[in-house]
Amino acid sequence: MKTLIKKKITISDKDNLILLCDKKSKLSDFNLSKQELEYIKKEQKDNKEIIAINQYSRHIFIILPKKEKDPNKHAENCRLIGDILAGKLKDMKSSLIIDVKENQTEAMQIAEGMALSNYTFIKHKAEGNANKLETIYMCKNSNKKNLTELQNIVDAVYLTRDLINEPFSHLTAKDLATAAIKSGKKYGIKTTVFNKKKIESLKMGGLLAVNKGSIDEPTFTIMEWNPSKAKNKNPIVLVGKGIVYDTGGLSLKPTANSMDLMKIDMGGAGTVIGAMQAIASNNLPYHVIGLAPATDNRPSGNAYAPGDVITMHDGTTVEVLNTDAEGRLILADALSFAKKYNPELVIDLATLTGAAVAAIGHYGFVSMHDGAIKDHAKLKEIGDKVHERLAEFPFWSDYDELIKSDIADIKNLGGPYGGAITAGKFLAHFADYPFIHIDLPGVYSKSKYGYRGKGATGMGVRLLYQFIKNKV
Ligand code: BES
Ligand code: MN
Ligand code: ZN
């Protein structure tokens, strides 16, 4: 269910109130009893950030965010307060945030945390315990444009989470493409889907090889947002890995439970689709193209095999030494396809390696870049702001030889160490433009982290949106 963020001018005595305050704020307007006011004072002395007053017909929360010197930490703390509030209000229909201390930035961050926290994925349950919180109202001094923007961002994050949470049984490569078309239609993004025949005619040997073991056809989706007053001359291209399920193929994933989560292997594509929606729904004046190659990766009588040599879209030959290193194969074709746009920058997003997960856990992303120092620095800065952070890995030329093959141009496997980096190096082989590679350990989390929740986090959408919005 959608969480609505709306402006409300009047306050009734049945509204659940969230009062954003500082110690000087006057609370006399809110019909609090003497006892309640005394209690609030006492709690304030103990530096409580959230003070709860439960009245008969409503809840009141007095919020006093602690002062953090680092503005990014402060913003994140406000979002996390929003998460706690959403938890306390999940059985209520609505709540109203009143900005008593007159700090709209904080009020918006709390609303953002609340809205992102309110997400549930219960469509496959007969009696899902959906949160009842339908509407987060913002008080009269809130800026309507900012509310609409936040609503669009939250909707896009929800879309990405829905796509990633959806199991393979309900989301094939075709379904993923259909979801892109649906969003594209709604928000005016020109969306084109290549079918298997078209993919064959384009000689996308990587995507076709991975798809060989599948009973379903691959898709290659192009979403183009090209507003008439675009500020950039050459487009920014976002590429997302769309492996709707990864068994490893004939190099079958070995250990117990290692496949349980592999419905999330289209996390890159899901993030690109959500980011495109956020960009278009908020009418950002930038020419942006999203590419999503998609298939599942399965063993079968016809599956591609370790030792195979395949020819990619750009003519490069690849020795396949492990069919579980499939993401880089489908992405490589999309990256060489992207050359035709003469892009100013290409960012790919992919649940590419277990090595990235092992290195940083589910707390953020791992990034590398080639010829994109400034853009990467900016992306990192934005990541810190939205708390979808990048851990930069080295991309030294020392690693280049690790993907050299004896019998083909390159191989799809690196050495025993630095797996996230050699995967990135494989991709960089197909890029001849400023290039940023993002490995996505953070798109999914088994345990809840604040407003990101449990399961698909939607992480990456806010990062890409704010990066493009602030592009110079
Ligand atoms: N989709 C996986 C990577 C992955 C694993 C993402 C676990 C998230 C959680 C990818 O296709 C893969 O299997 N990578 C292999 C590459 C290896 C065979 C070189 C890996 O990381 O083990
Ligand atoms: Mn794999
Ligand atoms: Zn994979």
Dihedral pair phi/psi, residue 30, rounded to 5°: -110, 20
Q: Looking at residue 472, what is its pLDDT?
A: 85
Query: Does the residue 152 lie in any domain?
Result: no
Residue 91, exposed/middle/buried by CB under 10 A (0-12, 13-18, 19+)?
A: exposed
User: Sorting pLDDT into bands at 50, 70 and 90, what band is 165?
Assistant: very high
Distance, in Å, from the CA atom of 213 to the CA atom of 35, rounded to the nearest integer, reads: 70
Mean pLDDT score, 298-316: 98
In whole numbers, what is the pLDDT of the chain averaged over residues? 97
User: Sorting pLDDT into bands at 50, 70 and 90, what band is 163?
Assistant: very high
Residue in 159, 156, 110, 157 with CA at minimum distance from that of residue 136 = 110
Residues in the chain: 472
Q: Looking at residue 388, what is its pLDDT?
A: 98
User: Sorting pLDDT into bands at 50, 70 and 90, what band is 199?
Assistant: very high
What's 82's domain CATH number? 3.40.220.10
257: phi > 0 → left, psi -120 to 50 → alpha, else beta; which?
left
Query: Does the residue 183 lie in any domain?
Result: yes
- Whether residues 231 and 330 fall in one domain: yes
Catalytic residue among 8, 328, 411, 452: 328
- Whether residues 305 and 354 fall in one domain: yes
Write the DSSP string, 389-408. Answer: -EEEPP--GGGGGGGB-SSS
Residue in 107, 31, 104, 105 with CA at minimum distance from that of residue 63 = 107
Nearest-ligand number for the alpha carbon of 354: 1
- The protein residue with its alpha carbon nearest to ligand 1, atom 5, reads 354
Residue 58 designated active-site: no
- Whether residues 39 and 170 fall in one domain: no
Q: How far is the CA of 264 from the centre of ligand 1 (A)?
A: 11
- The protein residue with its alpha carbon nearest to ligand 1, atom 7, reads 354
| Residue to mutate (ligand 1; options 251, 324, 421, 422; most atoms within 8 A of CB) | 324
Distance, in Å, from the CA atom of 8 to the CA atom of 399, rounded to the nearest integer, reads: 57
Choosing from 142, 175, 201, the residue where a domain stops is 142
Mean pLDDT score, 461-467: 99
Q: Looking at residue 13, what is its pLDDT?
A: 87
| Residue to mutate (ligand 1; options 252, 253, 353, 363; most atoms within 8 A of CB) | 353
Choosing from 142, 173, 195, the residue where a domain stops is 142
pTM: 0.98
Distance, in Å, from the CA atom of 230 to the CA atom of 108, rounded to the nearest integer, reads: 28
Dig out the tokens for 241 from the structure: 């890995």
Tell which atom from ligand 1 comes closest to the C-alpha of 264. 8
Mean pLDDT score, 26-30: 90
Distance, in Å, from the CA atom of 242 to the CA atom of 244, rounded to the nearest integer, reads: 6
Pick from 17-31, 169-183, 238-252: least confident: 17-31
Mean pLDDT score, 198-223: 99
pLDDT digits (tens, 9 = 90+) for 391-416: 999 999 999 999 999 999 999 999 99
Choosing from 111, 142, 173, the residue where a domain stops is 142
Q: How far is the CA of 324 from the centre of ligand 2 (A)?
A: 4
pLDDT of 129 higher than 80: no
Q: How far is the CA of 381 from the centre of ligand 2 (A)?
A: 30
- Whether residues 65 and 196 fall in one domain: no
Write a three-state SS string for 90-117: CCCCEEEEEECCCCHHHHHHHHHHHHHH
Q: How far is the CA of 183 from the centre of ligand 2 (A)?
A: 28
> Across the strands, what pairs with 391?
366
- The protein residue with its alpha carbon nearest to ligand 1, atom 3, reads 353
Tell which atom from ligand 1 comes closest to the C-alpha of 414. 19
pLDDT digits (tens, 9 = 90+) for 47-88: 999 999 999 999 999 999 999 999 999 999 999 999 999 999
Residue 446 designated active-site: no
- Whether residues 199 and 91 fall in one domain: no
Q: Looking at residue 29, what is its pLDDT?
A: 87
Residue in 324, 294, 295, 330 with CA at minimum distance from that of residue 310 = 330
- Whether residues 106 and 9 fall in one domain: yes
Dig out the tokens for 230 from the structure: 């675009």
- The protein residue with its alpha carbon nearest to ligand 1, atom 14, reads 353
The number of domains in the chain is: 2
Catalytic residue among 7, 88, 253, 378: 253
Task: Give me the domain span that covers residue 248.
Answer: 165-469
Residue in 93, 96, 100 with CA at minimum distance from that of residue 111 = 96
- Whether residues 183 and 135 fall in one domain: no
Query: Does the residue 215 lie in any domain?
Result: yes
Write the DSSP string, 339-391. Answer: GGG--SEEEEEE---HHHHHHHGGGSEEEEEES-HHHHHHHHHHHHHHT--EE
Dig out the tokens for 228 from the structure: 């008439």
Q: Looking at residue 277, what is its pLDDT?
A: 99
Distance, in Å, from the CA atom of 427 to the CA atom of 77, rounded to the nearest integer, reads: 36
Tell which atom from ligand 1 comes closest to the C-alpha of 243. 1
pLDDT of 141 higher than 90: no
Q: How far is the CA of 387 from the centre of ligand 2 (A)?
A: 27
Maximum average pLDDT range among 18-27, 117-126, 203-212: 203-212
Nearest-ligand number for the alpha carbon of 264: 1
Q: Looking at residue 413, what is its pLDDT?
A: 98
Residue 431, exposed/middle/buried by CB under 10 A (0-12, 13-18, 19+)?
A: buried
Summary count for the chain: helices (H), strands (E):
13, 20
Residue in 379, 374, 344, 345 with CA at minimum distance from that of residue 464 = 379
User: Sorting pLDDT into bands at 50, 70 and 90, what band is 262?
Assistant: very high
Residue type, 362: H
Q: Looking at residue 269, what is its pLDDT?
A: 99
- Whether residues 230 and 132 fall in one domain: no
Tell which atom from ligand 1 comes closest to the C-alpha of 351. 6
Quickly tell me which residue has 């209000």 as its tokens: 89
DSSP, collapsed to helix, strand or coil, labels residue 61 as strand
Dihedral pair phi/psi, residue 395, rounded to 5°: -135, 40
- Whether residues 60 and 108 fall in one domain: yes
Which runs of E-coded beta strand occur in 127-218? 135-138, 190-194
Query: Does the residue 154 lie in any domain?
Result: no
Query: Does the residue 148 lie in any domain?
Result: no
- Whether residues 95 and 195 fall in one domain: no
pLDDT digits (tens, 9 = 90+) for 85-127: 999 999 999 999 999 999 999 999 999 999 999 999 999 998 8
Dig out the tokens for 197 from the structure: 């025949």
In contact, 422 and 415? CB cutoff 8 Å: yes
In contact, 122 and 165? CB cutoff 8 Å: no
What's 370's domain CATH number? 3.40.630.10
Residues in the ligand 1 pocket, defined by CB under 6 Å:
246, 265, 322, 324-327, 351, 353-355, 357, 413, 419
Query: Does the residue 156 lie in any domain?
Result: no
- Whether residues 195 and 60 fall in one domain: no
pLDDT of 343 higher than 90: yes
- The protein residue with its alpha carbon nearest to ligand 1, atom 16, reads 325
Query: Does the residue 157 lie in any domain?
Result: no
Query: Does the residue 63 lie in any domain?
Result: yes
Residue type, 436: I
Q: How far is the CA of 311 from the centre of ligand 3 (A)?
A: 20
- Whether residues 311 and 365 fall in one domain: yes
